[in-house]
Amino acid sequence: MLNEKVKGTFLRNEPMAKHTSYGIGGPAQAYITPADENDLKQILIFAKDKGINTFFAGSGSNLLVADEGFEGIVITLGKSFTKLGIDGNKMEAQVGVMLGKIVKETIKRNLTGMESMIGVPGTLGGALIMNAGAFGGEISNCLDIIKVMLINGETKIYQKDDIVFSYRNSTFPKDEILLSATFTLNEKPANEIQYDRAKASKGRKDTQPLRFRSAGSVFKNPKPDLAAGYLIDQAGLKGSRIGDAEISTKHANFFINHGKAKAKDIVDLILLAKKTVLEKFDVNLELEIRTLGFTPGTFEI
């Protein structure tokens, strides 16, 4: 049995509501935090041999999980793959390191390139897959190399140019799990870095409903100069509520959980927003959040 092989943490029928920023989601058959690379390798080989579905989750900060849960294994590296090393202007970090820690440690050394990520929740791994960014910066800007593990347990190194990074997207193969990444950062006067950090932090506090549970931006911006939140706002949907889920009155691309929202409530709001924006503006909004456990076609209108 798999639970006897795992050296890290193995939780059976674990409610995913405990592991997402939304606080929403039914049980995963198994929720596993591998102890190290070898542990991860054994888990992947077992799952492949047995034909078990696997899903790689970071901190769950941009994840919506179905009320029915997930038939398979959820693997998270957020509690074990957390090494961070900085030597001069080179930084090497495992994918479980929180973005907040990276921002703090680089700013402390007067290194620029990460300060726009201040307040962005989640781990480095999820940020790389989504090519996370804020206030003009993207996580891939300073990236050099990435180490991954294939589904058969082998490891592989990618150079940055091997992967295509675009707005909230990357071309990492879906069946590979990121392990670590190396970055080259630039030095900058401390006062300038602190100014950029403070500007990003204030922008986040002023525009986002940080007091409520959410998964960040629900939809990608259709164009660089056309925000999804603007379209949802102009469609008159700010404040729309289904159950305990609401389209935020502060930022229309944030859908918040007032405490007891179900995944179905968020899904219904997503479909309402997609349908209304398509009808009013002929724009088909594309999800930015990741989803797990839903039947195909759930988010199509």
Q: d(Cα 205, Cα 214) in Å, to the nearest integer?
A: 14
- Residues 291, 292, 293, 295: what is their CA dihedral angle, to the nearest 10 degrees? 40
DSSP state of 196: H
Classify 301 as helix, strand or coil: coil
Q: d(Cα 265, Cα 262) in Å, to the nearest integer?
A: 5
**Strand 143-149, strand 177-184: pairing:** antiparallel
Which one of the listed residues 217, 240, 246, 290 is annotated catalytic? Answer: 217
- Reported as half-sphere exposure (CB side, CA atoms, 13 A), residue 258 has a value of 12
Q: 9 and 277 in contact (C-beta within 8 Å)? A: no
Q: d(Cα 133, Cα 141) in Å, to the nearest integer?
A: 10
Which one of the listed residues 80, 246, 288, 290 is annotated catalytic? Answer: 288
Q: d(Cα 236, Cα 247) in Å, to the nearest integer?
A: 11
Q: CA distances (Å), 166 to each of 63, 194, 200, in order?
A: 20, 27, 21
**Strand 155-159, strand 133-134: pairing:** unpaired
**Strand 143-149, strand 155-159: pairing:** antiparallel
Whether 217 is a known active-site residue: answer: yes
CB-based contacts of 281, cutoff 8 Å, min separation 6? 231, 234, 235
Q: d(Cα 71, Cα 278) in Å, to the nearest integer?
A: 33
Which one of the listed residues 168, 197, 240, 246 is annotated catalytic? Answer: 168
**Residue at 22: amino acid letter:** Y
Whether 168 is a known active-site residue: answer: yes
Handedness of CA 176, 51, 13, 242 (dihedral sign): positive
Whether 213 is a known active-site residue: answer: no
Residues with a catalytic annotation lie at 168, 217, 288
